[in-house]
Amino acid sequence: MCTGKCAKCTGCLLFPLGLLSIVSNILLFFPNGGVWRTEEITENIWFFPGVIGGGLLVLLPASVMLAAGVDRSCCENRCVDGPLCDTGDGTFIYPFFNQTAEESYLFNHTAWNECERPHNVVLWNVVLFSILLGVGTVEALLLLAQVVNGLIGCLCGTCMNMNQQTQTA
Protein backbone atom coordinates (compact mmCIF):
# COMPACT_ATOMS: atom_id res chain seq x y z
CA MET A 1 0.00 0.00 0.00
CA CYS A 2 1.27 3.48 -0.84
CA THR A 3 2.26 5.57 2.17
CA GLY A 4 -0.10 8.35 1.06
CA LYS A 5 -3.05 5.96 0.89
CA CYS A 6 -2.14 4.49 4.27
CA ALA A 7 -1.95 7.99 5.79
CA LYS A 8 -5.34 8.87 4.26
CA CYS A 9 -6.86 5.68 5.66
CA THR A 10 -5.40 6.35 9.11
CA GLY A 11 -6.65 9.95 8.99
CA CYS A 12 -10.14 8.76 8.03
CA LEU A 13 -10.14 6.39 11.00
CA LEU A 14 -8.84 9.00 13.43
CA PHE A 15 -11.48 11.63 12.61
CA PRO A 16 -14.49 9.71 13.96
CA LEU A 17 -12.44 8.52 16.95
CA GLY A 18 -11.43 12.10 17.77
CA LEU A 19 -15.02 13.31 17.46
CA LEU A 20 -16.23 10.40 19.61
CA SER A 21 -13.68 11.35 22.24
CA ILE A 22 -14.86 14.98 22.27
CA VAL A 23 -18.53 14.01 22.50
CA SER A 24 -17.79 11.49 25.27
CA ASN A 25 -15.94 14.10 27.30
CA ILE A 26 -18.81 16.56 26.90
CA LEU A 27 -21.35 13.93 27.93
CA LEU A 28 -19.34 13.29 31.12
CA PHE A 29 -20.55 16.72 32.27
CA PHE A 30 -24.14 15.41 32.24
CA PRO A 31 -24.19 12.21 34.35
CA ASN A 32 -27.21 10.09 33.46
CA GLY A 33 -28.41 12.87 31.15
CA GLY A 34 -28.97 15.31 34.01
CA VAL A 35 -27.50 18.69 34.81
CA TRP A 36 -25.40 18.65 37.97
CA ARG A 37 -23.66 21.37 39.94
CA THR A 38 -19.98 21.98 39.29
CA GLU A 39 -18.93 20.55 42.66
CA GLU A 40 -20.86 17.34 41.93
CA ILE A 41 -18.78 16.51 38.86
CA THR A 42 -15.39 14.85 39.30
CA GLU A 43 -12.43 17.11 38.69
CA ASN A 44 -10.92 14.71 36.15
CA ILE A 45 -13.62 15.70 33.68
CA TRP A 46 -12.54 19.34 33.96
CA PHE A 47 -9.08 18.43 32.61
CA PHE A 48 -10.86 17.85 29.25
CA PRO A 49 -8.91 14.69 28.37
CA GLY A 50 -11.34 13.80 25.59
CA VAL A 51 -11.59 17.29 24.14
CA ILE A 52 -7.89 18.14 24.22
CA GLY A 53 -5.99 14.84 24.29
CA GLY A 54 -8.31 12.51 22.46
CA GLY A 55 -9.93 15.20 20.33
CA LEU A 56 -7.92 18.22 19.21
CA LEU A 57 -4.54 16.52 19.50
CA VAL A 58 -5.86 13.70 17.31
CA LEU A 59 -7.84 15.78 14.81
CA LEU A 60 -4.88 17.99 13.92
CA PRO A 61 -2.56 15.16 12.79
CA ALA A 62 -5.54 13.37 11.22
CA SER A 63 -6.15 16.37 8.97
CA VAL A 64 -2.46 16.40 8.02
CA MET A 65 -2.67 12.68 7.23
CA LEU A 66 -5.67 13.28 5.02
CA ALA A 67 -3.80 16.03 3.20
CA ALA A 68 -0.84 13.69 2.72
CA GLY A 69 -3.12 11.17 1.06
CA VAL A 70 -4.49 13.62 -1.51
CA ASP A 71 -3.36 12.61 -4.98
CA ARG A 72 -1.19 15.32 -6.53
CA SER A 73 0.95 15.30 -9.61
CA CYS A 74 4.13 15.72 -7.59
CA CYS A 75 4.58 12.41 -5.76
CA GLU A 76 1.80 13.22 -3.31
CA ASN A 77 3.26 14.95 -0.24
CA ARG A 78 6.92 14.80 -1.25
CA CYS A 79 7.01 18.10 -3.18
CA VAL A 80 9.74 20.55 -2.27
CA ASP A 81 8.55 23.80 -3.76
CA GLY A 82 11.35 25.90 -2.35
CA PRO A 83 11.19 29.40 -0.97
CA LEU A 84 9.09 32.28 -2.18
CA CYS A 85 11.50 34.88 -3.52
CA ASP A 86 12.07 37.69 -5.99
CA THR A 87 14.05 36.48 -9.01
CA GLY A 88 14.87 40.02 -10.13
CA ASP A 89 11.67 41.35 -11.66
CA GLY A 90 10.13 42.55 -8.38
CA THR A 91 7.56 39.72 -8.23
CA PHE A 92 7.77 37.05 -5.55
CA ILE A 93 7.35 33.56 -7.02
CA TYR A 94 8.33 29.95 -6.32
CA PRO A 95 11.15 29.55 -8.85
CA PHE A 96 11.78 25.90 -7.93
CA PHE A 97 8.12 24.81 -8.03
CA ASN A 98 7.44 21.27 -9.33
CA GLN A 99 11.04 20.18 -9.69
CA THR A 100 11.64 16.44 -9.63
CA ALA A 101 14.09 14.67 -7.35
CA GLU A 102 16.60 14.45 -10.22
CA GLU A 103 16.66 18.22 -10.77
CA SER A 104 16.10 19.36 -7.18
CA TYR A 105 17.53 22.74 -6.23
CA LEU A 106 18.45 21.41 -2.78
CA PHE A 107 21.77 19.98 -3.95
CA ASN A 108 22.38 22.45 -6.79
CA HIS A 109 23.87 25.41 -4.94
CA THR A 110 24.32 27.45 -8.10
CA ALA A 111 20.54 27.44 -8.59
CA TRP A 112 20.19 29.20 -5.24
CA ASN A 113 21.40 32.42 -6.88
CA GLU A 114 18.12 32.52 -8.80
CA CYS A 115 16.56 34.10 -5.70
CA GLU A 116 17.78 37.67 -5.41
CA ARG A 117 15.56 38.84 -2.56
CA PRO A 118 15.62 38.03 0.34
CA HIS A 119 19.34 37.44 0.16
CA ASN A 120 20.37 33.80 0.92
CA VAL A 121 16.72 32.78 1.44
CA VAL A 122 17.32 29.24 0.13
CA LEU A 123 20.16 28.62 2.58
CA TRP A 124 18.06 30.18 5.35
CA ASN A 125 15.13 27.86 4.60
CA VAL A 126 17.25 24.73 4.18
CA VAL A 127 19.07 25.26 7.48
CA LEU A 128 15.99 26.13 9.52
CA PHE A 129 13.78 23.41 8.04
CA SER A 130 16.61 20.93 8.70
CA ILE A 131 16.70 22.09 12.31
CA LEU A 132 12.92 21.62 12.54
CA LEU A 133 13.25 18.13 11.08
CA GLY A 134 15.95 17.23 13.59
CA VAL A 135 14.06 18.66 16.54
CA GLY A 136 10.87 16.89 15.46
CA THR A 137 12.75 13.60 15.20
CA VAL A 138 14.22 13.99 18.68
CA GLU A 139 10.78 14.92 20.06
CA ALA A 140 9.22 11.86 18.42
CA LEU A 141 11.92 9.60 19.90
CA LEU A 142 11.45 11.13 23.36
CA LEU A 143 7.69 10.69 23.12
CA LEU A 144 8.13 7.09 21.98
CA ALA A 145 10.45 6.50 24.95
CA GLN A 146 7.78 7.93 27.25
CA VAL A 147 5.14 5.64 25.76
CA VAL A 148 7.41 2.64 26.43
CA ASN A 149 8.12 3.99 29.92
CA GLY A 150 4.39 4.33 30.58
CA LEU A 151 3.70 0.80 29.39
CA ILE A 152 6.46 -0.60 31.59
CA GLY A 153 5.15 1.42 34.54
CA CYS A 154 1.64 0.16 33.89
CA LEU A 155 2.69 -3.47 33.62
CA CYS A 156 5.41 -3.61 36.28
CA GLY A 157 4.38 -0.84 38.64
CA THR A 158 6.32 2.27 39.48
CA CYS A 159 9.33 2.67 41.73
CA MET A 160 7.23 5.06 43.84
CA ASN A 161 5.65 2.12 45.70
CA MET A 162 9.07 0.74 46.67
CA ASN A 163 10.29 4.14 47.88
CA GLN A 164 7.16 4.65 49.97
CA GLN A 165 7.55 1.21 51.55
CA THR A 166 11.20 1.79 52.52
CA GLN A 167 10.40 5.19 54.04
CA THR A 168 7.57 3.85 56.21
CA ALA A 169 9.54 0.82 57.45
* C-alpha to C-alpha distances, 8 to 5, 17, 69, nearest whole angstrom: 5, 15, 5
For position 3, what pLDDT does the model report? Answer: 67
Work out the angle at residue 39's Cα, subtended by the Cα atoms of residues 38 and 43, and round it to the nearest 5 degrees: 85
pLDDT in tens, the chain (169 residues): 566 777 788 888 888 998 999 999 898 888 878 888 888 788 888 888 889 888 888 888 888 888 876 655 545 445 587 888 999 899 998 888 877 767 788 888 888 888 898 888 989 988 888 898 888 788 888 878 888 888 888 888 766 655 555 565 5
- Domain boundaries in the chain? 3-68, 85-168
Rounded Cα distance, 108 and 37, in Å: 66
pLDDT of residue 105: 84
Long-range contacts of range 75-81, CB-CB < 8 Å, 24 or more positions apart? 75/101, 76/2, 76/3, 76/4, 77/4, 77/7, 80/104, 80/105, 80/106
